[in-house]
A and B are shown apart, each in its own frame.
Chain A
């Protein structure tokens, strides 16, 4: 049995886990349930030795343990199978399973024969009928997952944590996986299972543990609870709704998307037949769980995937085709990306240079950049958005998350967009900056801008949006007006259903 006692964890001041206590039972499938940001991943990363700084303690089979790193956790019998598989594609199954713990002959060479035999035995036990010498890259995703499980078994793991193990595999493979899990259960192992797919949990899990906002909420036997009650436990918080201006129904349409689809390759569609409109002065919220295709939708509208996508986009009643972000910007579309450090800012440039980067064409005089124009544009937005920087020449990397986000907003407001798309606009920033950004969104909308806010935080969507689109697995599953939207309704539509 694995017990977590009073686990707390903070990331630069933001509480991710708050005094979590829970018991994970041996010979059972323990499901960890919660919304995005509830703290599931953080908790699992602590249990598996990824995060070593935390308060509280972990007790495994009666002993208090504190892992120095993942290898230490592995050696003590706790294995985690991440959502993104951690296999080396161009090595064989055997080489992957023994990676980092290779068997060596007395002469110091790799003991390939022994490793191959042990791999074969593991694969037999898991009923995976492939050659141990096969390359990982040639296996199906489901098979790769089984290899990960085999890797965990090699270290005779007593605890196996699976993070969204079915997110990338088909129904048939899910069945195989469940058979394996049931087998492991019978061997008395602690199985920890994380998934958004509630139907799946009812099929495989024995116990549930609900986390919400970093806190432990409840645990119990799966058979004592039903679908709706579980959702209530996950959501169960007070809803704060801003008072909004009721939108006049006849406001002109700024953006209209018709039959938009995006394909990763021939078979796999990331977005399916998406249609919606955005009106002048409207804030449209888009909610979806991880992998619903929210970010991809915004990127496709912005012209980033023009080769794999099909759609009809109308901006101001004009048919448009965007083959690059530059095209989209020209038509007055702006995208504030999800990850400001990766996609939003050039951290090594200063505040002024970052703000002016979208409008440099207007900042030059006879081909030479006009420092005065740049500085005054930057200063305008530093004042308007209350960006806290020592000067417009401070490097972007030396600012706080909230101020960095404001710079990204500033560089897009500088283009005078008619449609502003915000992807997770308040991720990882403090409450104060959050409220400021909400106010700004409301103000911009009242000035007539059309705004799309994508968020995985339900309170945020409910606070800012006039209308809500719910996405699930690449499709829009619901369009709700704010007065009819409740957390339960939204979540119900956002959770994938197995047919």
Chain B
């Protein structure tokens, strides 16, 4: 009996570390093929590149753990980036009452995050109040937020932003790029939330068995709305980083990001049917995608092939994960 449990634990441990092993193998492989890969500059480069995806994917993980999905993160990212950029450059002008409100960098960033949270809240509200399937509700929001972005930007990039704002995406602090700090803080907070708080436990419980959770007196709707709101807010944070790094808010920013973040979540071993998975897994997933992208670029592989490879990796990850859960 004890021996059986031990081998089971051993298997589970192996399963937990297999994405780490895959990452390690990947790194060794690429470093043999390219001498530019294992350099400090490149390491920071990769981490800066994936910081946006990590922010979004952390939110996505929380949503997926409740057995939901959020397709709107890419559009929310674009809208929030554009709103922050627009407020920074033009402020708000109300001609009727002859009022002008200017925005500091902090004020504009907070406004962007508030808009992201509000749209996320709206997702959660539609899903819980009207029982709209998450796929549909967030698909609608994908279109709505993209449309609002086009309206706000009139279809043109917003450029010429306050140089202080650029610090967010390009600055360094204590020898580490600021976007890495931000995504690091997001990851650590999310790990604490999922492992150490009531909210986190309820997220797993709802994803694992919504009926049982409801009968245990958990307010399902409240938790779900919270989760989608967090996802919206984190998409906004991603929007701020991108806008700052490019020194411009592109109206079509973030297109397809929802798929990249779902990929990170899935590669990280989180089950799309909810209740099983971890933030750390998602981070690993995002890192694997980032390293893969970076390696293929360094090796001069065509971007078209990159997409094919990425797709195959997602498929392989899920197949391996399925095989593992059968073993359990």
Contacts and interface: CB of A to CB of B under 8 A. Distances in A.
Given A346-B208, A347-B208, A348-B276, A369 B215 contact: no
A367 B2 CA distance: 36
B192 interface: yes
Nearest to A327: B217
Contact of A364 (B2, B198, B209, B214): B198
B216 A368 contact: no
Given A343-B211, A346-B212, A358 B201 contact: no
A456 B218 CA distance: 29
B197 A357 contact: no
B196 A368 contact: yes
Contacts of A369: 196-198, 201
Contacts of A344: 212, 215
A345 B196 contact: no
Contacts of A345: 209, 212
B215 A348 contact: no
A94 B179 CA distance: 62
A343 B211 CA distance: 5
Interface residues of A, number: 30
A357 B205 contact: yes
Contacts of A357: 201, 205, 213, 216, 218
A361 interface: yes
A330 B216 CA distance: 11
Contact of A325 (B2, B196, B214, B276): B214
Interface string A282-307: 00000000000000000000101000
A325 B209 contact: no
A346 B197 contact: no
A369 B205 CA distance: 15
A42 B70 CA distance: 43
A361 B201 CA distance: 11
B120 interface: no
A368 B192 contact: yes
Interface residues of B, number: 24
B125 interface: no
B217 A346 contact: no
Contacts of B213: 346, 357
B319 interface: no
B276 A343 contact: no
B217 A358 contact: yes
Contacts of A130: none
Nearest to B205: A346
A346 B65 CA distance: 13
Interface string A337-361: 1000011111111000100011011
Interface in B164-219: 192, 196-198, 201-202, 204-205, 208-209, 211-219
Given A345-B209, A346-B204, A347-B208, A325 B197 contact: no
B281 interface: no
A349 B211 contact: no
Given A329-B217, A357-B205, A368-B192, A343 B197 contact: no
Interface in A353-383: 353, 357-358, 360-361, 363-364, 367-369
Given A360-B198, A361-B198, A369-B196, A346 B218 contact: no
Contacts of B217: 324-326, 328-330, 358
Given A325-B217, A349-B204, A364 B211 contact: no
B116 interface: no
A353 B218 CA distance: 14
B215 A337 contact: yes
Given A346-B205, A346-B209, A348-B208, A325 B215 contact: yes
A367 B205 contact: no
B112 interface: no
B99 interface: no
Interface string A372-406: 00000000000000000010000000000000000
A345 B192 CA distance: 24
Contacts of B211: 342-343
Given A342-B211, A364-B198, A368-B192, A358 B216 contact: yes
A349 B208 contact: yes
Interface string B33-76: 00000000000000000000000000000000000000000000
A17 to B, nearest CB: 31
A343 B201 contact: no
A149 interface: no
A348 B204 contact: yes
B275 interface: yes
Contacts of A335: 215
A395 B208 CA distance: 12
B101 interface: no
A368 B197 contact: yes
Contacts of B212: 337, 342-346
A368 B198 CA distance: 7
B45 to A, nearest CB: 36
A196 interface: no
B326 to A, nearest CB: 13
Nearest to A335: B215
A337 B113 CA distance: 42
Given A364-B198, A368-B197, A369-B197, A343 B204 contact: no
B5 interface: yes
A304 B275 CA distance: 23
Interface string B1-42: 110010000000000000000000000000000000000000
A411 interface: yes
Interface of B: 1-2, 5, 192, 196-198, 201-202, 204-205, 208-209, 211-219, 275-276
| 7 shortest interchain CB distances as A-B pairs | A346-B208, A326-B217, A329-B217, A348-B208, A346-B209, A343-B211, A360-B198
Interface of A: 302, 304, 324-326, 328-330, 335, 337, 342-349, 353, 357-358, 360-361, 363-364, 367-369, 390, 411
Given A342-B211, A369-B197, 10 more contacts: A337-B212, A343-B212, A346-B205, A346-B275, A347-B208, A357-B201, A360-B198, A364-B197, A369-B196, A411-B216
